[in-house]
C-alpha cells in the first residue's frame, strides 16, 4: 500500500516537473519568436534605410557631375556674352534714330538678357563655396528684395505684407539668403499674374530661424510638391528649372532645409529653416 502511494507521488512529481519544463520551453519559444520577429523588422528597416541612403548618394554623385559640366558651360557662355552685349550697345548708338531697327535690337537684347539669366542660375546652382556667416536683419533683407521687385509687384497688382520684427536677425550668408528669397518671391509673382498677396513671415525659435514666403496663387499640385526642388524640373514654358534647386542648395549649405506646402486658405508657402545653435557655434 505504501509502495503504491509512493509511486503515485513520484508520478505526480514527474508530471509537475514535466509541466514546468514544457511551460519554460513554451515561454522560451515565444520569446525566441518575438526576438526573431523584432530582428526581422529591424533588418527590413535598416535595408530600407540603406536603400534610401544609396539612392541619395547616387543622386548627389549625379548632381556633382552635372554641376561640373554646367559650371564649365556657364563660364564659356558668359565669356562670349560679354562682347556680344558690348557690340549691341555700340550698335544701338549708331542706329538710335532708326526706330524700326531699334525695336529689332530690343528683341535681340531681351534674348541676350534671358541667356544671361540662365547662366547666372547655372553658376549659382553649381557654386561650391562655404557660406560667409554674418548677422543680418531679416527685415532689412526682405525690404531690399521688395524694393528690387517693386516694378513687377506694381505692374501685377500684388500687395506685399511683411510680418517680421525689426530686431529679428539670422546668422547666414547675406548674398546666398537674398538669392534664395528672391527666387521664392519671383516664383510667387509668376503664380499671381492677375494680382494677389505676397506675405513674408519670420520666426525665431530656440533651435531654428524660419523665414516663410507665402502667396495667394493656385497652390502646388501633387507632382510639383514632390518634385519642386529637383534641378531642371519646371512647369513653366521658359526658365531653367533651377530656381528652387538653388533655394534648396542655399538651405543645405547653411545646415538647414526648405519646406513646401499649400496654405489652408489657398496659395503656396515655402519655409527656409536655418539652425541657430550649430551656426552660432560655427561663428
Residue 186 sits in a domain whose CATH number is: 3.30.565.10
Q: Residue 12's pLDDT is what?
A: 60
Q: Residue 38's pLDDT is what?
A: 84
The reply to whether 180 and 104 lie within a common domain is: no
The reply to whether 235 and 152 lie within a common domain is: yes
Q: Residue 279's pLDDT is what?
A: 46
The reply to whether 94 and 150 lie within a common domain is: no
What's the total number of domains in the chain? 2
Q: Residue 43's pLDDT is what?
A: 84
Domain that holds residue 32: 1-128
Q: Residue 200's pLDDT is what?
A: 97
The reply to whether 177 and 244 lie within a common domain is: yes
Rounded CA gap, 157 and 193, in Å? 9
The reply to whether 118 and 149 lie within a common domain is: no
The reply to whether 87 and 208 lie within a common domain is: no
Q: Residue 46's pLDDT is what?
A: 84
The reply to whether 108 and 169 lie within a common domain is: no
Q: C-alpha distances in angstroms, 96 versus 82, 92, 101?
A: 21, 6, 9
The reply to whether 88 and 157 lie within a common domain is: no
Domain boundary among 95, 128, 161: 128
Over residues 40-77, the pLDDT tens digits come to 888 888 888 888 777 777 666 666 666 666 666 766 77
Domain boundary among 128, 144, 172: 128
Q: Residue 260's pLDDT is what?
A: 93
The reply to whether 119 and 141 lie within a common domain is: no
Task: List, as one string, the DSSP characters of 140-174.
Answer: HHHHHHHHHTHHHHHHTTEEEEEE--TT-EEEE-H
217: buried, middle or exposed (CB in 10 Å: 19+, 13-18, 0-12)?
buried
Rounded CA gap, 230 and 243, in Å? 10
In which residue ranges of the chain is pLDDT below 70?
Answer: 1-16, 18, 58-72, 74-75, 110, 113-114, 116-118, 120-128, 237-240, 277-283
The reply to whether 145 and 121 lie within a common domain is: no
The reply to whether 222 and 277 lie within a common domain is: yes
Rounded CA gap, 45 and 159, in Å? 48
The reply to whether 7 and 109 lie within a common domain is: yes
Most distant CA atoms of the chain, gap in Å: 138
Q: Residue 164's pLDDT is what?
A: 94
Rounded CA gap, 48 and 56, in Å? 12
Q: Residue 256's pLDDT is what?
A: 92
Domain boundary among 96, 128, 160: 128
Q: Residue 237's pLDDT is what?
A: 64
Amino acid at each position: 500500500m505504501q509502495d503504491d502511494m509512493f509511486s503515485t507521488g513520484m508520478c505526480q512529481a514527474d508530471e509537475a516537473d514535466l509541466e514546468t519544463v514544457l511551460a519554460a520551453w513554451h515561454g522560451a519559444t515565444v520569446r525566441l519568436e518575438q526576438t526573431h520577429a523584432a530582428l526581422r523588422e529591424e533588418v527590413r528597416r535598416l535595408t530600407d534605410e540603406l536603400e534610401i541612403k544609396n539612392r541619395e548618394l547616387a543622386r548627389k554623385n549625379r548632381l556633382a557631375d552635372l554641376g561640373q559640366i554646367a559650371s564649365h558651360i556657364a563660364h564659356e557662355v558668359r565669356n562670349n556674352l560679354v562682347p556680344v552685349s558690348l557690340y549691341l550697345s555700340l550698335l544701338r548708338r549708331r542706329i538710335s534714330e532708326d526706330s524700326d531697327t531699334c525695336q529689332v535690337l530690343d528683341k535681340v537684347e531681351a534674348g541676350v538678357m534671358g541667356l544671361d539669366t540662365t547662366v547666372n542660375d547655372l553658376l549659382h546652382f553649381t557654386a561650391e563655396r562655404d557660406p560667409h556667416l554674418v548677422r543680418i536683419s531679416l527685415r532689412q533683407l526682405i525690404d531690399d528684395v521688395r524694393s528690387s521687385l517693386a516694378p513687377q509687384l506694381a505692374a501685377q497688382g500684388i500687395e506685399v505684407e511683411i510680418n517680421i520684427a525689426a530686431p529679428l536677425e539670422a546668422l547666414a550668408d547675406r548674398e546666398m539668403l537674398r538669392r534664395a528669397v528672391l527666387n521664392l518671391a519671383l516664383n510667387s509673382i509668376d503664380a499671381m499674374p492677375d494680382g494677389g498677396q505676397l506675405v513674408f513671415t519670420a520666426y525665431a525659435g530656440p533651435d531654428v530661424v524660419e523665414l516663410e514666403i507665402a502667396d495667394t496663387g493656385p497652390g502646388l499640385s501633387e507632382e510639383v510638391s514632390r518634385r519642386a526642388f529637383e534641378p531642371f524640373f519646371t512647369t513653366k514654358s521658359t526658365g531653367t528649372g533651377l530656381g528652387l534647386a538653388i533655394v534648396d542648395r542655399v538651405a543645405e549649405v547653411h545646415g538647414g532645409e526648405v519646406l513646401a506646402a499649400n496654405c489652408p486658405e489657398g496659395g503656396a508657402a515655402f519655409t527656409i529653416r536655418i539652425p541657430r545653435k550649430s551656426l552660432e557655434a560655427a561663428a
